[in-house]
Structure 1
Amino acid sequence: MGGCTSKPSSPSVKPNPYAPKDSLPQNDDSTPARTSTAVKASPFFPFYTPSPARHRRNKSHRDGGGGESKSVTGTPLRQLARAFHPPSPAKHIRDVLRRRKEKKKEATSPAARQQEEEEREEVGLDKRFGFSKEFQSRMELGEEIGRGHFGYTCSAKFKKGEFKDHEMTTAISIEDVRREVKILRALSGHNNLVQFYDAFEDNANVYIVMELCGGGELLDRILARGGKYTEDDAKAVLIQILNVVAFCHLQGVVHRDLKPENFLYTSKEENSQLKVIDFGLSDFVRPDERLNDIVGSAYYVAPEVLHRSYTTEADVWSIGVIAYILLCGSRPFWARTESGIFRAVLKADPSFDEPPWPSLSLEAKDFVKRLLYKDPRKRMTASQALMHPWISGSKKMNIPFDILIFRQIKAYLKSSSLRKAALMALSKTLITDELLYLKAQFAILAPNKNGLITLDNIRTALATNATEAMKESRIPDFLALLNGLQYKGMDFEEFCAASISVHQHESLDCWEQSVRHAYELFEMNGNRVIVIEELASELGVGSSVPVHTILHDWIRHSDGKLSFLGFVKLLHGVSTRQPLAKTR
């Protein structure tokens, strides 16, 4: 248990875990976007401007390499292979701690303390975290066992643990560590989440004490199998990943760097439990908020991250990449340069034609495809993925409350009566898999004896799995936006209409048939002569806009009712005035 974040140390560039077996060790393209070489914007991706932290790490690498500049963007071959690790810094760190302890005995005079304060002010960064300063008296540092984005993980005695050494020479890296500790403190209570024990600091380091996972990385096991899992073995891994990610998303935490290296096994046993680690790039995200900074690892980064507007769905994309690798042993998106990888992520479609895909089940392919939709609105959530036929099969899955339901109900309550009627008609065409998922979510909300759910039901469902992280992401405050349920219950029929994701339903093969049937139902039960002002309000059309021109295709001229095209657009909530999403 244990981890340390070193403030002044100079990190080595992370080795490439995917380098081809017949090649020399080289730097990894999957290094987080904050650690790439280029400081100026890519000529192919002008929107992509790397963080200063990337330049800092690369400069440190160049300065320590005998004057020879080395690129961190050399991309290995597509197949998976392991490169060599650079020398362990554990011995060096122990020597530094020993010398620091000896120096502390000597530097007890007021003049020495004043000089130390002046040196700290010279750096110009506030590196105080408010953690305990008793690390050396409570723990003994052991050997290196792994590496993170900005540092090292070592075993330690205090009772077994880990030590993490991070470079912290910029405000960005300091803030990353503050946020990582805050998230680790706030998240708790899930079996697939690495356990956090405590954090310490001294003048140069932050020590994060965590559960020791001695079973190695998921990546190691993938490589040991030659990069290919059976479908059943892949399911066992993905169920654990989906469970913990669904839990994090419910708390309002997006990991932002999910990859095989960031999942550890607790022991060497074949059926050992899997734990997610490394929350150094994670962040809190509110239900009505989108993030805009580009972080993560190139091969696993979602398209919307590159477009600088994303939320929890970005993690699901990364799980889709992991699922693809588990089942076929290669990456779905590959190129020889970082910009090439980004271009593939944005434009290319993963191949399901090459072996072993033709021999895998249709359900397995459908599962991976639905995680890798480029439009995040069409992508399954982690909770939905647990209900996918390939994962659940005939087994009964215990799934957490899905935060997507929360957002969908909020949008439904704000909709006009016309759109509610259209959604009700579409909900009558739901397929079996969608109904099973909605029934499971409805049951989690524990409807009353009348079969109705209220605002109190949703509040109770959130409180059941609540952690401190949920308060930080302001999810409880978001309940105020559901005040439409305060005095009115919602039965299962209306719950389906409120919770259906039109974009996800549109991605199904049966969409065309489904939406036409829904329009027929709408014609019988919900269609009526359109009040232009009502429809204009639904679309957010201002008074200065020529409303009749915009709505020309929406209304049937024979009777003034909504046309089929208008019905489809209304279902999507298409607006001529798209509201600006909150980003940060």
Structure 2
Amino acid sequence: MPSLPMSTCEINQDSKDSTDPQESLEDHAELIGSAKRRVKDETLEKEDLKKSRVEDELEKSKEETKPEINEPKEEPEKPEESRSEDGPTTEEYIIDCSPSPSAPFEHRVVTTKSHQITAYYTINRDEILGGGRFGMVHKCVEKSSGLTLAAKIIKTRNQKEKEVVKSEIEVMNQLNHANLIQLYAAYESRSDVTLIMEYVEGGELFDRIIDENYKLTELDTVLLIRQITEGLQYMHKMYILHLDLKPENILCVSRETNKIKIIDFGLARRYKPREKLRVNFGTPEFLAPEVINYEFVSFPTDMWSLGVITYMLLSGLSPFLGDDDNETLNNILECKWSFEEAEFTDISEEAKDFITRLLIKSKSWRMSASQSLKHPWLSDRSLHYRLHQKKNKCHSTHAPPPES
């Protein structure tokens, strides 16, 4: 396979709600004592009564010591994990499921303005944050507030291309989620449309995949994929398909954390169940089979791309990448991929199962975003504990050889 170019457990024993054994034994002892006294000669009654009182006192003192003898026997009933050096949560690891930092502004419903953008923003054209088929993204500062933002300048040669950008704006106006990049303003000129957006500084997720020196563990990948899935779950609940999900379209909030934002809604479409949607665009190695076959697309189309991203993050390899686009597309149509590469040797079976449930040719059999979030790989704290202990680095075969 070619490599990329590019909880606390509360132990509630309820004291077993057990009846104190000493009460039943005392009652039993008293019954025996009274029976004995009835058969004694009346002339010895007083003496026997004295003896029985002494016996009762002795019996009582013995019974009082019994709970102390029995107490240690109850100890082994406690679960193993509750008596470890690290406390009751030793066998579980709670991953950081807190949301990504929100945009430094409230969600906005944006319409394009025809004002001169340079009157309101200073755009640093020398600092390029990213780029693609649409144009370039630059760092910029709002003059009135000093707020640092990102300016996505999209070249538009005609009205049709302007409408495509306005469709992207309409989609972003509907999306208000911490894992989705937020739109601040939009400006239109004769030759381009500029989208002013939330700025994040951690770079593309793609950079972490290809960086052999970046220590990306399987547990890191769990965190990243969980956030992407949460973003997709929100989009799908809003009936919006991304349709261009890939590592280049996922930004890291910072270089120190695993918090992410999904970006680039230029190919996103609103899903209308009564209107069968077909598309003929996207990046070849991330395309789902239904896109290549020009069949109807829906929510599972994004889930296929999630499976490809997961595979890439865990191995540093692209599951369907061929020597050219045609070979790549044929590999996808044949659903030709495997875990045979050495990079998957130390990857958990749960991770492999997660991918297997997404990279399915028939879209109706793929996990949804909500189902994915419930999958053990993303939700099982015991598994996360094992991964935390293991701390295995993904792409392990890429690591430098040990010093001799």
TM bin (shorter chain): 0.5 to 0.7
The residue number in structure 2 matching 1:384 is: 371
The residue number in structure 1 matching 2:281 is: 295
Give the drift of 1:289: 3.7
SS at match of 2:357: helix
Structure 1 pair 228–327 and aligned structure 2 pair: CA distance change class (3 A): farther
Letter in 2 for 1:302: A
Structural mapping, 1:11-30, within 5 Å: none
Give the drift of 1:181: 1.0
Unmatched 5+ stretches in structure 2:
7-110, 383-404
Distance, in Å, in 2 between the alignment partners of 1:260 and 1:253 is: 19
Give the drift of 1:366: 0.6
| Alignment pair present for 1:165 and 2:153 | yes
Structure 1 pair 341–360 and aligned structure 2 pair: CA distance change class (3 A): same
Aligned pair count?
A: 272
Structure 1 pair 336–172 and aligned structure 2 pair: CA distance change class (3 A): farther
The residue number in structure 1 matching 2:346 is: 359
Higher gyration radius (CA):
2
Give the drift of 1:345: 0.5
1:286-314 Cα deviation digits (max 9, x unpaired): 23443112111101000011122111111
User: Is contact 1:152–1:165 with CA below 8 Å preserved after alignment?
Assistant: yes
The residue number in structure 2 matching 1:328 is: 315
1:147-201 Cα deviation digits (max 9, x unpaired): 133110001110211122222225553232111111112211x111111111112
Once superposed, what is the RMSD of the aligned Cα atoms?
A: 2.1
Structural mapping, 1:174-213, within 5 Å: 174-188=162-176, 190-213=177-200
The residue number in structure 2 matching 1:416 is: none
Runs of 4+ in structure 1 over 4 Å off: none
TM (norm. structure 2) is 0.64
| Alignment pair present for 1:280 and 2:266 | yes
1:93-129 Cα deviation digits (max 9, x unpaired): xxxxxxxxxxxxxxxxxxxxxxxxxxxxxxxxxxxx8
User: Is contact 2:307–2:358 with CA below 8 Å preserved after alignment?
Assistant: yes
Give the drift of 1:350: 1.1
1:19-76 Cα deviation digits (max 9, x unpaired): xxxxxxxxxxxxxxxxxxxxxxxxxxxxxxxxxxxxxxxxxxxxxxxxxxxxxxxxxx
Distance, in Å, in 2 between the alignment partners of 1:385 and 1:130 is: 37
Unmatched 5+ stretches in structure 1:
1-76, 83-128, 396-584
SS at match of 1:247: helix
User: Is contact 2:240–2:271 with CA below 8 Å preserved after alignment?
Assistant: yes
Structure 1 pair 178–334 and aligned structure 2 pair: CA distance change class (3 A): same
Distance, in Å, in 1 between the alignment partners of 2:213 and 2:3 is: 9
The residue number in structure 1 matching 2:203 is: 216
1:80-100 Cα deviation digits (max 9, x unpaired): 245xxxxxxxxxxxxxxxxxx
Structure 1 pair 272–347 and aligned structure 2 pair: CA distance change class (3 A): closer
Structural mapping, 1:290-439, within 5 Å: 290-308=276-294, 309-394=296-381
Letter in 2 for 1:384: Q
Distance, in Å, in 2 between the alignment partners of 1:202 and 1:171 is: 11
Distance, in Å, in 2 between the alignment partners of 1:256 and 1:348 is: 19
1:257-278 Cα deviation digits (max 9, x unpaired): 1000001112222x24200001
The residue number in structure 2 matching 1:513 is: none
Distance, in Å, in 1 between the alignment partners of 2:161 and 2:331 is: 29
1:318-362 Cα deviation digits (max 9, x unpaired): 010000011111011021221211111001421112213243221
The residue number in structure 2 matching 1:136 is: 118
Letter in 1 for 2:175: L
TM (norm. structure 1) is 0.45
1:497-537 Cα deviation digits (max 9, x unpaired): xxxxxxxxxxxxxxxxxxxxxxxxxxxxxxxxxxxxxxxxx
Distance, in Å, in 2 between the alignment partners of 1:160 and 1:176 is: 26
Distance, in Å, in 2 between the alignment partners of 1:282 and 1:232 is: 29
Letter in 1 for 2:128: E
1:540-583 Cα deviation digits (max 9, x unpaired): xxxxxxxxxxxxxxxxxxxxxxxxxxxxxxxxxxxxxxxxxxxx
| Alignment pair present for 1:79 and 2:3 | yes
The residue number in structure 2 matching 1:497 is: none
1:343-390 Cα deviation digits (max 9, x unpaired): 110014211122132432211111001010010000001111010011
Give the drift of 1:131: 2.4
1:189-245 Cα deviation digits (max 9, x unpaired): x11111111111223321211011111000111122468842211101100100001
Structure 1 pair 315–172 and aligned structure 2 pair: CA distance change class (3 A): farther
Q: Which has the higher contact order (CA 8 A, sep 6+)?
A: 2
SS at match of 2:297: coil
Structure 1 pair 363–130 and aligned structure 2 pair: CA distance change class (3 A): closer
User: Is contact 1:264–1:275 with CA below 8 Å preserved after alignment?
Assistant: yes
User: Is contact 1:226–1:329 with CA below 8 Å preserved after alignment?
Assistant: no
